Structure 1
Amino acid sequence: MSAKPSEFFKTLSIIHLALVGGILAFGIFKFVNNGTFVANADPDDIFIYVIPVVAAFCYFMSQFMFKKQLQAIKREDNLSLKMSKYQAASIIKYVFIEAPAFLAIIAYGFNGNALFLVIAIFLLVYLFMQKPSQRKFLEEAPLTIEDKKEFKNSNR
């Protein structure tokens, strides 16, 4: 196997943390610079309709694409290939969550509508909860008994 599972998860965790940190930093930056927190909804604002729909769509797409990518992993693949495909599937899932969060923060920057900031916060919390772990990999990836043994032995 080319990479140890601990190195694989360290890399994936760094990517995950960078995405979460980027959204958090951008959100704080926009909140500090904007200084407003408007709680009323302007019906003429197109973002009031677009942001919630995009956020919900991307949430469901993140789940759908992740599961579709996992189904593409063949049981015959070696463990290293399974780990790299799992990593790609996870990154795609993260991006589908990150993109609408950034869009919501940008929309918040335009008019200070609290709804957009709340949507971004919920997406950020959800993305944070998607933190990669070895337990999740063992549960979600289609691993054979040999793969699980190799995974545990190579992790020592």
Structure 2
Amino acid sequence: MVYMRLNYNPNAAVAQIMSKVQQVQNQLPTGTQAPVINETVGNQTALMYLAFYSNTLSQQQVNDYVLRVVQPKIQGVHGVGQAQIVPAGTGPSGDSFALRAWLNPNRMAALGVTPAAVARALASNNYISAVGRTRSADIARAIRADTILHNARQFRNL
């Protein structure tokens, strides 16, 4: 993350950063993805975090309610820039999660594995396939074929 001095031209800063990144991009290992630069203005720290739970609803039902009812109402409040749902459960099914894979370059070199091969293995062995949809008065749910990996051991064995 890059922070700028007050009143510094953000367009000039982005141009300088992109120039510096391009100067060293050829030093990145083969198969790595190009860096992504996103420009945002202002403080990106959340002003408020809200937690939702229920003694009677499942996590998926709470997530569905927050996504369909709470988030749109919060975003509709004058002055609110954005309302994001953060884990646990960022998708409508409520079981979405993130994985950060730390790759061992020495081990990968010994096995002849590239970062692109790791990305392909993750993508091809960890997906959700929708097969339909069901609705009731209170909830709408996608029916899916569960082909997703669920824990660190399953990812490690991949």
Decide which structure has greater helix share.
Answer: 1
TM-score scaled to structure 2, two decimals? Answer: 0.25
TM norm structure 1: 0.25
Bigger strand share: 2
Higher relative CO (CA 8 A, sep ≥ 6), structure 1 or 2? 1
- Look at both structures and tell me which one has the larger radius of gyration over its CA atoms: 2
